[in-house]
Amino acid sequence: MSQVSDRTSTERHRLPVRTLVAASVGNAIEWFDWTIYATFAVYFSSQFFDKSSPTLALIGTTSTYALAFFFRPLGGILLGRLADLRGRRWAMLVTILLMAGGSLIIAVLPTYQAVGWLAPILLLLARIAQGLSLGGEVSNASAYLGEIAPPAHRGRYSSFFYISTGIALLLASVLGLLLTTTLTRPQLESWGWRIAFLVGGVLGLVGLWLRRTLAETEQFEENAERARATRNPLLLTLREHPKAVLQLFGFTLLSTLCFYTFFSALTPFAVQFRGADGGEVFLALSIGTLVFIALQYPMGAAADRWGRKPQLLVWSGLMTVITVPLSLLITDRPPLLNLVIVFVVGLGLYTFMSSIAPAIMSELFPTELRALGIGAWYNLTVALFGGTAPLLIAVFSGAGRPDLFFWYVAAGALIAFLIILTLPETKGRQLT
């Protein structure tokens, strides 16, 4: 009897890999589309802005990138509320459609030389759709993963969120490496960058097909009526959960800076302002991304065993002290080894947070406010600190002070460390 009971217990807690992949794949597609914009911006900026000033064209392109970020909070509010009212699955289907559509539109947009200022306007509209989409995707997928996970295994379940994301980012990096090594720079600037956006649109359709069979979470079903009866839910998150909002802001601030520094901002910075070889940058990023993927599940399991808070304190503390020293390795025409060290160390440390991000965020808010609470305040923080990261690094570098950006990241890490100190330990806790 005891052996049967033990075997049943083991089966009950076996990871539902197919469900986890289906739930996470939409986020992967979202981040693929989002990342190729940042990583290929240095090549297509002159296609949508006046090419007579490459620096101004890049600033214009990164400004569009930043402006789209400010639609993420709106997407988080609208699609998060949709998820709380209609279900996580329904909202996740909407987000992936918006993202794939935006990517396909960018792939076929006319250039500045063909239609003048209509080109950047159309680019901005497509990016707005993607900003709305990503604003809802992260919060809704996080809520879904948090709600289907047993309390003792929520870190492990959460790790799939960035395993799939890392694979998508690796695909974006490998695609970048392939395109930069097989096409000339004029070919990349003329039409090669369009391939990446076309691939993103096709992958979106694959993600939509995978998500069609997802079942709704029991927690949503049990709390749907309560969510529908809730009035002024956004205000309610501030009035009844102000500490949770502050804590979400704190660790999201640094998480955002880590993500956009290592996955987005460093690529155009190294190529445009340090004369690094584009192929070597993409190769180093690919190696760092492999490390990022490989560490997700072990770090998720570690948080289930030893707790979320110690892991977050190590991450934020180390980022405070090593960010500036790491940046010094990106010298003029940096060797490949330097680039590999920067990406491996930075992305390896980031897994301390990314592996358990859905678990931490889901544990902050009750079910009837979970998707909206995460969607609104997570995305507002990302808009403020993530959307401006490529723009800031371009502006600081243009002014001859790129080091200021890395001091800025280190300061953000210190703020995150102090706020994380206020977090309660939530490993093994039942969701409210």
DSSP string, 361-426: HHTTS-HHHHHHHHHHHHHHHHHHHTTTHHHHHHHHHHTT-THHHHHHHHHHHHHHHHHHTTPPP-
HSE on the CB side for 267, CA within 13 Å? 30
pLDDT in tens, 77-109: 999 999 998 888 889 889 888 888 888 999 988
Instruction: Say which CATH superfamily domain 17-420 falls into.
Output: MFS general substrate transporter like domains (1.20.1250.20)
**What's the confidence (pLDDT) of residue 175?**
86
Largest Cα–Cα separation, the chain: 78
Q: Mean pLDDT for the chain?
A: 85
Phi, psi of 14 (to 5 degrees): -70, 135
CA angle (258, 260, 265) in 5-degree steps: 120
Tell me whether residue 386 is exposed, middle or buried, using C-beta atoms within 10 angstroms of its C-beta: 0 to 12, 13 to 18, 19 or more. Answer: buried
List Cα–Cα distances, 241 to 75, 141, 237, 365, in angstroms: 21, 21, 5, 8
Beta strands in 159-285 (DSSP E): none
**What's the confidence (pLDDT) of residue 7?**
39
Nearest CA to 107 out of 204, 27, 211, 210 is that of 204
Which positions ≥6 away from 227 have C-beta within 8 Å? Answer: 84, 85, 233, 367, 368, 369
**What's the confidence (pLDDT) of residue 318?**
97
Write down the pTM of the prediction. 0.80
Tokens of 330: 């990106």
pLDDT in tens, 204-222: 888 888 888 888 888 888 8
The pLDDT > 70 percentage for the chain reads: 94
Q: pLDDT truncated to tens, each residue of the chain (432 aa)?
A: 333 333 333 345 677 887 888 888 877 887 788 778 877 877 877 777 766 666 667 777 777 777 777 888 899 999 999 999 888 888 988 988 888 888 899 998 888 777 777 888 888 888 888 888 888 888 888 889 989 989 889 999 999 988 988 888 788 878 877 888 888 888 887 888 899 899 988 888 888 888 888 888 888 888 888 878 888 889 999 999 999 999 999 999 999 999 888 877 787 778 877 888 888 888 898 899 899 999 999 999 999 999 999 999 999 999 999 999 998 898 888 899 999 999 999 999 999 999 999 999 999 999 889 989 999 999 889 888 876 776 787 788 778 787 788 899 999 999 999 999 999 998 888 877
d(CA 127, CA 305): 40
Tokens of 44: 């297509």
**What's the confidence (pLDDT) of residue 269?**
77
